[in-house]
């Protein structure tokens, strides 16, 4: 096993800067995810860790060891790709054994190791099957077995589930996590699927346009986004451009058009220098409360329900409050009269609102 350090790394392809100013530390045994939209530099970063690309600038270390220009075959990393990249006319056994045979391992040991790993990925009974005769999920298990059989220090997974249907994806998520914990292997997982990232990772790095915007645990990324790109990329959110009106120790008052909001001044610690600044007010749809009657708290507004979407567990509402349209998710068991046209009271709890920097132009 190994920790990974990425120090001030840049990768340019001609004039295209795919990754810039990247600094990351991935801990030994950690499940770490690179998350971001298509083309943001996730795969390029993974490939620099695998050694398929060398950085234009900066250093990649495993532990303290400088690996920046070490070729892939000398890195002891196992990689799994979206398209499996298996040899279709070889059997499962032959596919998994391939890497060991290249390393000139004795055939008795190859046999033991391959059967061990096939048992771990629950494919032992398929050892003699050609991989072209397997389902997508089974093929991805073969790809995992092939990566794990060489006992790598680091496992690199590049969108491994995106070719699978939703049910298989769920099963394989659990399978990958089980194997990762069993092998206690440092794992980097690349995905553009925020639900996958939130549910699987110890920590997540959120990328956009070659830049890492935030590193944190799933709950930090979701609850305390560093800026409006991270906030809008992860989950649903109401984002309103606001101007800071007044700051005191306990509360911050901001305005958006004709609406004023009051926000707890923790964890922000804003001081009076923030007055007149423009920020984004963010509040998750599940944090907004709906009341039948006016309640005597901050940020309670009269609103009108415009649309109602029923999702089973939750009901999603679009509620008009003056010139704002707020998205609200309520649990299905509420008894309020939630039909289009209904008059409601909407509360944005002062401790559930976040004030975050705006990155103009970057928000998808
Ligand atoms: N070999 C290459 N030559 C030129 N440009 C490249 C090369 N590889 C990647 N790029 C560019 O670098 C940027 C980052 O690409 P990268 O593949 O790392 O993104 P990604 O986040 O993995 O996207 P996806 O989810 O679509 O795979 C993109 O603008 C891409 O077009």
pLDDT, tens digit, 9 for 90 and up, residues 242-254: 999 999 999 999 9
pLDDT of residue 335: 59
CA 260 – ligand 1 centroid, Å:
43
Predicted confidence (pLDDT) at residue 269 exceeds the cutoff of 90: no
Distance separating alpha carbons of residues 351 and 267, to the nearest angstrom: 9
Ligand 1 contact via 213 beta carbon (within 6 Å) = no
CB 161 within 8 A of CB 173: yes
Distance separating alpha carbons of residues 195 and 72, to the nearest angstrom: 31
Which of 17, 37, 43 gets mutated to test ligand 1 (max ligand atoms within 8 A of its CB)? Answer: 43
Ligand 1 atom closest to Cα of residue 13: 4
Reading the block at residue 104, the tokens are 């000139």
Distance separating alpha carbons of residues 156 and 303, to the nearest angstrom: 49
CB atoms within 10 A of CB 297: 13
Predicted confidence (pLDDT) at residue 276 exceeds the cutoff of 70: yes
What mean pLDDT is predicted for residues 202-222? Answer: 96
pLDDT of residue 257: 83
Indicate which residue's Cα is closest to atom 26 of ligand 1.
38
pLDDT of residue 135: 87
Indicate which residue's Cα is closest to atom 1 of ligand 1.
13
What mean pLDDT is predicted for residues 288-310? Answer: 94
Q: What is the mean pLDDT of the chain?
A: 92
Ligand 1 contact via 18 beta carbon (within 6 Å) = yes
Report long-range pairs for 18-26 (Cβ below 8 Å, ≥24 apart). 18/44, 18/210, 19/44, 19/45, 19/48, 19/55, 19/210, 20/210, 20/211, 21/211, 22/58, 22/211, 22/212, 23/212, 24/205, 24/212, 24/215, 26/186, 26/188, 26/203
pLDDT of residue 362: 43
- What is the share, in percent, of the chain residues with pLDDT greater than 90? 74
CA 40 – ligand 1 centroid, Å:
7
**Residues in a beta bridge with 68:** none
Ligand 1 atom closest to Cα of residue 192: 25
CA 216 – ligand 1 centroid, Å:
24
Q: Out of 61-75, 98-112, 217-231, 294-308, pick the least confident.
A: 98-112
CA 357 – ligand 1 centroid, Å:
27
Ligand 1 contact via 44 beta carbon (within 6 Å) = yes
């Amino acid at each position: 096993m190994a920790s990974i350090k990425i120090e001030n790394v840049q990768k340019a392809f001609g004039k295209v800067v795919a990754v810039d100013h990247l600094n990351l530390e991935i801990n030994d045994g950690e499940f770490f995810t690179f998350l971001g939209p298509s083309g943001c530099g996730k795969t390029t970063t993974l490939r620099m860790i695998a050694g398929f690309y060398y950085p234009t600038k900066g250093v990649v270390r495993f532990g303290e060891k400088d690996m920046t220009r070490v070729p892939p075959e000398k890195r002891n990393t196992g990689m799994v790709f979206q398209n499996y990249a298996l040899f279709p006319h070889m059997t499962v056994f032959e596919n998994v054994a391939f890497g060991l045979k290249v390393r000139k391992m004795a055939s008795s040991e190859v046999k033991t190791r391959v059967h061990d790993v096939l048992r771990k990925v629950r494919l032992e009974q398929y050892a003699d099957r050609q991989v072209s005769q397997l389902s997508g999920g089974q093929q991805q298990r073969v790809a995992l077995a092939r990566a794990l059989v060489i006992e790598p220090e680091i496992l690199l997974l590049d969108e491994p589930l995106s070719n699978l249907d939703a049910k298989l994806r769920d099963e394989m998520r659990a399978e990958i996590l089980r194997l990762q914990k069993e092998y206690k292997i440092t794992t980097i997982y690349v995905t553009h699927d925020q639900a996958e990232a939130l549910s699987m990772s110890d920590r997540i790095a959120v990328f956009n346009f070659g830049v890492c915007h935030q590193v944190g645990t799933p709950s930090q990324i979701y609850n305390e986004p560093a800026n409006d790109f991270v906030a809008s990329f992860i989950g649903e959110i109401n984002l309103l451009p606001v101007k800071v009106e007044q700051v005191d120790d306990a509360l911050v008052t901001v305005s958006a058009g004709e609406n004023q909001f009051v926000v707890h001044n923790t964890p922000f610690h804003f001081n009076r220098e923030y007055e007149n600044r423009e920020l984004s007010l963010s509040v998750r749809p599940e944090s907004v409360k709906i009341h039948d009657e006016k309640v005597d708290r901050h940020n309670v507004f009269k609103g009108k329900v415009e649309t109602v979407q029923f999702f089973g567990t939750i009901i999603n509402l679009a509620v008009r409050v003056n010139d704002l349209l707020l998205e609200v998710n309520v649990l299905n068991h509420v008894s309020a009269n939630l039909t289009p046209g209904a008059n409601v009271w909407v509360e944005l709890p002062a401790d559930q609102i976040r004030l975050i920097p705006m990155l103009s132009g970057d928000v998808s």
